[in-house]
Amino acid sequence: MKRLWIAAALLAAAVVLALWNSWHLKSYLTRVSDLLDHAEVLAEEGDWDGAQRLTQDAYSRWDQRSCYFYTVLRHADTDEVYTGFQEVQEYLSCQEAGEYSAANARLTAQLRLLWEMEQLTLQNLL
């Protein structure tokens, strides 16, 4: 009977950690996505320097937690986000409005998909 309770406690701890990870990813990735959305608004207004600063801030926030992301997420997905940041920063430096908007939208969608992938839903369990 003692083994059953230990197994149940370990299972409960795993579920709690999975839920905490999902909540943490959502709050962190939402902040990064919000910075990128605000950068898009600045770029549309012609403030390319402001957009570049916000994008760099978003990248710095992402990079600060790279070890955590590589631990809890698939490496291929994390690498795609890095590639997305590089693409967005290149379009910002060239001030290519259309390409920047498309790349930024793709990057923010990737960030949102990372969080959705970690949610405890029936779709993710199947």
Instruction: Give the integer Cα–Cα distance in Å for 56 and 35.
Output: 9
Other C-beta atoms lying within 10 Å of the C-beta of residue 21: 16
1-45 confidence digits (pLDDT tens):
788 899 999 999 988 888 888 888 888 999 999 999 999 999 999
The verdict on residue 49 lying in a domain is yes
Domain of residue 47: give its range.
Answer: 23-125
| pLDDT at res. 21 | 86
| pLDDT at res. 60 | 95
Instruction: Give the number of domains in the chain.
Output: 1
Does the pLDDT of residue 89 top 70, yes or no?
yes
Does the pLDDT of residue 116 top 70, yes or no?
yes
The verdict on residue 88 lying in a domain is yes
The verdict on residue 117 lying in a domain is yes
The verdict on residue 14 lying in a domain is no
CATH code (residue 73): 1.20.120
